[in-house]
Amino acid sequence: MGTVLLAGTCRNGNIMECKIFYSCVSHKGLVRRVNQDNLLCGGRYITKEDTLPFALSGSVTTEEPSVFGVFDGVGGGVDGDVASAIAAEKAAAITVGDDPAASLRQFCQDANEAVCQYARDNAISSIGSTVAMVAFMEKGAMWCNIGDSKVFRFSKGKLEQLSMDHLGLAPFGRKAPLSQCLGIEPDEMIIDPYIASGGYRDGDVYLICSDGLTDMVTQDEIRGVIDSTPFDGVTERLLEMALANGGHDNTTIVACRISRSGGWSLSRLWRRNRGEA
């Protein structure tokens, strides 16, 4: 899996261009035999032929909508990696149009059906995947999640969870089970993704991660790392901390930082002058 460039634009009232700097890591951890996580960066996702031995990083403008995501396979160790790969592949095909919420909701329905169909075809009783995604658009960002993979925003020194966990009641001394994930048959439950939106500021960092990070590293520790670490080292530092604290689960982290470049978007200006934008 090579370095991927994404596209997307930051609202500023003019044709000023913004960049999204990004970094991502994915690791099977110290206990699991297989990495059942997956991710999405610029239409690319992890396949069985791909490896991710180090952080991938790069920068893109925001001239077209772009989607980043993390998908955590579930299923008791059986084919969870397939479910998360199905979700990532479907997410790579998203076209964010005039109604981005509808696009994300349709993705969740299509991905759920694809995971269910795989389970039917292979006589698997239970597999699934979480979803946590952020779509960056010209006028702001929209996020979507199902399950307990999380979306955070770090802004002006504060870390805020934007996603909403879908969890049932926790058995005594054990982790709460998911109340929703991809892979639930429609006659059992109609999945209901959490979708919300907001603006973004210069310097904001969006963090998308599987529970392999948040089960091992506290939110205050995550905030401290983002606040004190150069951006290109954030995901690797967080992964190091998750492994140092036990690495009990697969850990996947995608970080995106918004930056105003201070330059004019010449391609958009050219199109506007021609009456095309």
pLDDT, tens digit, 9 for 90 and up, residues 176-227: 889 999 999 999 999 999 999 998 899 999 999 999 999 999 999 999 999 9
Q: Report the distance separating Cα 120 and Cα 42, nearest Å.
A: 30
Task: Judge whether residue 24 has pLDDT over 50.
Answer: yes
Supply the pLDDT for residue 137. Answer: 86
- Count up the domains in the chain and report the number: 1
Is the per-residue pLDDT at 9 higher than 50?
no
Helix H or strand E segment including 205: strand 205-209
Q: Are 224 and 199 within 8 A, CB to CB?
A: no
- Kindly state the average pLDDT of the residues 144-161: 98
Residue 207 in any domain: the answer is: yes
| 215 in a structural domain | yes
pLDDT of residue 87: 97
CA distance to 25, 158, 206, 222, 223, per residue, from 155 (Å) = 22, 5, 9, 13, 10
Q: Are 180 and 129 contacting, i.e. CB atoms less than 8 angstroms apart?
A: no
Asked if the structure places residue 32 within a domain, the reply is yes
The mean pLDDT value for 231-257 works out to 96
Task: Report pLDDT digits (tens) over 194-206.
Answer: 999 998 899 999 9
Whether 9 maps to a domain, the answer reads no
For the entire predicted model, the pTM comes to 0.88
CB 211 within 8 A of CB 148: yes
Residue 121 to residue 124: CA distance in whole angstroms: 8
> What CATH number did the domain enclosing 157 receive?
3.60.40.10
Residue 10, domain member (yes or no): no
Residue type, 48: K
User: What's the confidence (pLDDT) of residue 17?
Assistant: 65
Question: What range defines the domain where residue 251 resides?
Answer: 16-273
Residue 220, in any domain of the structure: yes
Q: What is the mean pLDDT of residues 140-169?
A: 96
Among 41, 177, 44, 193, residue whose Cα is nearest residue 110: 193
Residue of 142, 189, 184 whose CA lies nearest to 163: 142
pLDDT, mean over the chain:
86
Please give the residue that has the higher pLDDT: either 120 or 15.
Answer: 120
Report the percent of the chain where pLDDT is more than 90. 67
Sheet holding 205-209, edge to edge: 56-61, 16-27, 251-264, 205-209, 150-155, 158-161
Structural domain includes residue 148? yes
Q: What confidence tier does 269 reach under pLDDT thresholds 50, 70, 90?
A: very low
Element (H, E) at 107: helix 100-121
pLDDT at 159 exceeding the cut of 90: yes
**Structure-token pair, residue 94:** 């998203």
Residue 261's pLDDT is 63
Indicate whether 53 belongs to any domain.
yes
Spell out the residues 6+ positions from residue 176 whose beta carbon is closer than 8 angstroms to its own.
Answer: 167, 168, 169, 170
Let me know how long the chain is.
277
Of 255, 253, 257, 256, whose CA–CA distance to 52 is shortest?
253
pLDDT band at 274 (very low <50, low <70, confident <90, very high): very low
Who has greater pLDDT, 132 or 53? 132
